[in-house]
Amino acid sequence: MEERLLGSEEKDSNDLKGRILVENKKIWKVGFPAMLARVTQFGMFVVTQAFIGHVGELQLAGYALIQIITIRFANGILLGMSSATETLCGQAFGARQYHMMGIYLQRSCIINLITATILLPVFIFSGKIFRLLGEEEEISKTAGYISLWFIPIPYFFSLAITIQQYLQTQLKNMIVGWLSAYSFVLHVLLSWIFVSRLNWGIPGAMSAMNISSWLVVIGELVYVFGGWCPDTWRGFTLAAFTNPIPVIKLSISSGVMLCVRVSNELGRGDAKAAKFSVKVIFFTSLCIGVFFFVVCLAFDRQIAKLFTNEKEVIHAVFNLSPLLAFSVLLNSFQSVLTGVAVGAGRQSMVAYINISSYYIFGVPVGLILGYVAHLETKGIWIGMIIGVVMQVTVLGYITSRTNWDEQVTKASERLDNWFLRPSEESSAENAIEERLNG
């Protein structure tokens, strides 16, 4: 009897190890190209900052101001809004509603391009905005000049991120990873030629960034339009303009908010697989977070020397490195829990959680520590960390209490409500054409 029990336990253990191995393969098939794309695309901004940092301190300060505030703001909005594509395409792919994915892609691109245009005044008038906020005049002017070079970037975000989510949900995002990696190498080469060899300064550094970034978009468009997505891309259609309100609502919630595996399994109707996927993704991300936590602490001074030779700046980065390390660790939790919410289509709920965590708790505490307790940058950063802790705690509790069978039902209802059969798609196109002609 005992031998049977031991044999059964050993069989269950082997079965669990096998399931974890299979799930990890699925995760890395999606996650590695996405990670490669994110790291190399963000790396372009880091490389540009490094080259501009060696042009001059004023230029470095102006660039840092734009990147940290303006670019992060625009990227956060557009990245969040693109998660609507991730939710809808992921669930459509799981439910085998392949032709709907091309329609969702077109709808999201239209919405994101409009949003990028709305954000343009922030880039055009950034110098004046920083001056009104009390920044020094010289830094504000430099930031305003650099910001004009950044104008193509929001449009890059609009298309690149959306197409990446579309490809990622159908397990075809390896092309995005390699495109981004090649563009990163080209960016380093162009930056060296334009800045170090030709001494073009800011125009050279920013030109290299814009050229390298848009090559990623061009490559993605060639891949999609060139026939490598035959099931999900069937050409442009006026059906993308039909019933846009639900997608706009989901996109706005996502934009305020900031796992594709989850949406795939929900669309497929497999609640157990979705729950298991969450567990594996969480612990995988935790391991990665711990690794980079150690890296940030071990190489604190070396990181600063990439951007500047000023001893004061290097010392300041050294003092802030523990906060950076904890931020990286916490973000390994936050990204997974937020991704699970995106996969389940819970953007609105997470938007409220984020607003409460950061603006009710994080920001006030940061302001008190920074300006009342005179901790300055450290105090503000500690406040932001508190906001992340609040967010992770609430999202963790909600995820642990999630009824995944109920989420499968909701995903099915969402897909049914927004589903267009090919015949209905043609009817929608005819109706729009009649309105335009009439």
> What digits encode the pLDDT tens for the residues 198-210?
999 999 999 999 9
Q: How confident is the model at residue 302 (pLDDT cuts 50, 70, 90)?
A: confident
Q: How confident is the model at residue 437 (pLDDT cuts 50, 70, 90)?
A: low
Query: Is 103:425 a contact under the CB 8 Å cutoff?
Result: yes
Q: How confident is the model at residue 370 (pLDDT cuts 50, 70, 90)?
A: confident
- Asked whether the predicted pLDDT for residue 394 surpasses 50, the reply is yes
* Closest C-alpha to 299, from 325, 331, 326, 323: 325
Note the Cα 40 to chain centre separation in Å: 13
- Asked whether the predicted pLDDT for residue 410 surpasses 60, the reply is yes
The runs of H, that is alpha helices, within 54-135 are 57-65, 72-94, 98-124, 126-132
The pLDDT of residue 425: 53
Please indicate whether residue 294 or residue 309 has the higher confidence score (pLDDT). 294
- Asked whether the predicted pLDDT for residue 378 surpasses 90, the reply is no
Q: Burial level of 403, CB count in 10 A (0-12/13-18/19+)?
A: exposed
Decide if 384 is inside a domain: no
The pLDDT of residue 413: 65
Note the Cα 212 to chain centre separation in Å: 19
Decide if 222 is inside a domain: yes
What is the C-alpha to C-alpha distance for residues 391 and 402, in angstroms, rounded to an integer?
A: 16
> What digits encode the pLDDT tens for the residues 57-75?
889 889 988 987 888 788 8
Residue ranges making up the domain that contains 67: 25-344+402-430
The pLDDT of residue 6: 45
Q: CA distances (Å), 317 to each of 102, 301, 328, in order?
A: 45, 7, 15
Rounded mean pLDDT of 166-189?
Answer: 91
The runs of H, that is alpha helices, within 125-200 are 126-132, 137-149, 152-168, 174-191
* Closest C-alpha to 266, from 344, 165, 329, 327: 344
The runs of H, that is alpha helices, within 299-310 are 300-305
Fill in the amino acid letter for 177: G
What is the C-alpha to C-alpha distance for residues 155 and 350, in angstroms, rounded to an integer?
A: 26
Instruction: Give the SS3 label for residue 97.
Output: coil
The pLDDT of residue 258: 40
- Compute the half-sphere exposure of residue 12: CA atoms within 13 Å on the CB side of its CA: 6
CA dihedral 398, 344, 25, 334 (to 10 degrees): -50
Please indicate whether residue 427 or residue 130 has the higher confidence score (pLDDT). 130
Lowest-confidence pick of 67-81, 172-186, 190-204? 67-81
Query: Is 62:146 a contact under the CB 8 Å cutoff?
Result: yes
Q: How confident is the model at residue 421 (pLDDT cuts 50, 70, 90)?
A: low
Domain count, the chain: 1
Please indicate whether residue 402 or residue 250 has the higher confidence score (pLDDT). 402
* Closest C-alpha to 122, from 101, 151, 142, 80: 151
- Asked whether the predicted pLDDT for residue 28 surpasses 50, the reply is yes
User: Which of 242-248's residues contact partners 24+ apart within 8 Å by CB, and which partners?
Assistant: 242/420, 242/428, 242/431, 242/432, 243/418, 244/107, 244/110, 244/111, 246/417, 246/418, 247/84, 247/88, 247/104, 247/107, 247/108, 247/111, 248/111
Decide if 382 is inside a domain: no
What is the C-alpha to C-alpha distance for residues 246 and 122, in angstroms, rounded to an integer?
A: 27
Decide if 257 is inside a domain: yes
Instruction: Give the SS3 label for residue 140.
Output: helix
Q: Is the dihedral of CA 254, 258, 264, 270 positive or negative?
A: negative
| Terminal alpha carbon distance of the chain | 81
> What digits encode the pLDDT tens for the residues 210-251?
999 999 999 999 999 999 999 999 888 887 777 666 666 665
- Asked whether the predicted pLDDT for residue 116 surpasses 60, the reply is yes
Beta-carbon contacts of residue 373 (< 8 Å; ≥ 6 apart): 379
Decide if 53 is inside a domain: yes
Q: How confident is the model at residue 18 (pLDDT cuts 50, 70, 90)?
A: confident
Helix H or strand E encompassing 333: helix 311-343
What is the C-alpha to C-alpha distance for residues 168 and 216, in angstroms, rounded to an integer?
A: 15
Query: Is 229:172 a contact under the CB 8 Å cutoff?
Result: yes
Decide if 360 is inside a domain: no
Residue 343 is encoded by which pair of tokens? 């996969």
Query: Is 95:412 a contact under the CB 8 Å cutoff?
Result: yes
Percent of the chain clearing pLDDT 90 (strictly above):
24
**Residue-averaged pLDDT of the chain:** 79
- Asked whether the predicted pLDDT for residue 337 surpasses 70, the reply is yes
Please indicate whether residue 17 or residue 268 has the higher confidence score (pLDDT). 17
> What digits encode the pLDDT tens for the residues 76-104?
778 777 777 777 777 788 778 888 888 88
What is the C-alpha to C-alpha distance for residues 245 and 66, in angstroms, rounded to an integer?
A: 32
